[in-house]
């Protein structure tokens, strides 16, 4: 294949990121959150109607990420550690972007590469 063909093949299209199908996959990829983000939304309450609204906001480029919700979590030694929770909407958008990135980057990475790749971890590297 020509260089132009490879260049075209490795493109990430915004329309693919914001497609309703990709956003649904992004929702599936997010973990069940017991600590809601600043908007109070959790995964279990996120339905198709909310996904359609998110899709429309992304399509019209009116989507604005929310600030992180910051919570102090107590540690066994009596101190606390800061936990930052993103909103469910932001997590879905991040996962949708990751899905598209992985499709392109998995073809570029060497088979011996294990860092931060789906289905691979440091134990597999050993």
Q: H or E element: which one contains 71? A: strand 69-74
Residues 6+ positions from 66 with CB-CB distance below 8 Å: 37, 38, 39, 86, 87, 89, 90
Q: What is the mean pLDDT of each run of 10 residues along the chain (126 residues)?
A: 56 93 96 82 93 98 95 94 93 96 83 80 81
**What are the residues facing 74 on neighbouring strands?**
80
pLDDT at residue 51 in the model: 97
């Amino acid at each position: 294949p020509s260089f132009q063909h490879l260049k075209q093949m490795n493109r990430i299209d915004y329309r693919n990121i914001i497609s309703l199908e990709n956003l649904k996959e992004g929702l599936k990829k997010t973990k069940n959150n017991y600590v809601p983000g600043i908007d109070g939304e959790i995964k279990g309450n996120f339905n198709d109607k909310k996904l359609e609204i998110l899709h429309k906001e992304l399509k019209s480029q009116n989507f604005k990420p929310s600030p992180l919700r910051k919570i102090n979590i107590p540690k066994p030694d009596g101190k606390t550690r800061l936990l930052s929770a993103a909103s469910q909407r932001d997590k879905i958008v991040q996962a949708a972007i990751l899905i598209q990135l992985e499709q392109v980057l998995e073809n570029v990475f060497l088979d011996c590469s294990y860092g931060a790749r789906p289905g691979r971890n440091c134990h597999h590297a050993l």
